[in-house]
Amino acid sequence: MAIRIVREDGDEILRKKSREVEVVDEKIKQILDDMVETLHHYNGVGLAGPQIGLLKRLVVIDLYDDKGPIKLVNPVIIKEKGEQEVEEGCLSFPNQFAKIVRPMEVTIEALNEDGKKIKIKGEGLLAQAISHEIDHLNGILFVDKIIPGTLEYVTPEDQKKGKNK
């Protein structure tokens, strides 16, 4: 496994649409494992292919619960329900946080790391994370959806002092 470099704001790959993965093979499984390791290294909740420079429809999410990381290949939202106003950040936009509106519930179809078709229903934080990462696959960034006036920059020094905002 390897920690990948996370592409940051201004990198044009973040604005490009990702391509579907044709075959879930050992190479794809290795990329998903690298993505999980990268996600954990940066203490993130989700990571999408474009964020590590790959225009492939790959997503990993970890809510750090007893379920462990979720690895998704070619995820598609098939149903959304309700909405929630959430504070959100992104590994590609270090130290930036803003309020945005996300669905309260989403249902997705995807392939798992074994290439088997799966369906997942996510609520709350999981719905938020899924929506955020699928947006990445379509070249949409969280800064495109912020509620005006809510973008904040939190420096590492602020975080050490315990300041949230």
Is 12 an active-site residue?
no
Which pLDDT score is estimated for 86? 98
Which pLDDT score is estimated for 2? 93
Which pLDDT score is estimated for 162? 53
Q: Where are the domains of the chain?
A: 12-160
Consecutive 10-residue averages of pLDDT for the chain (165 residues): 94 98 98 98 97 98 95 98 97 96 98 98 98 98 97 79 49
Which pLDDT score is estimated for 164? 45
Active-site residue identified among 109, 133, 152, 157: 133
Which CATH code is given to the segment(s) 12-160?
3.90.45.10
Which pLDDT score is estimated for 155? 79
State the DSSP string of 77-117: EEEEE--EEEEEEETTEEEEEEEEEE-SEEEEEEE-TTS-E
Two tokens, residue 155: 């420096």
- Contact of 58 with 28, CB cutoff 8 Å: yes
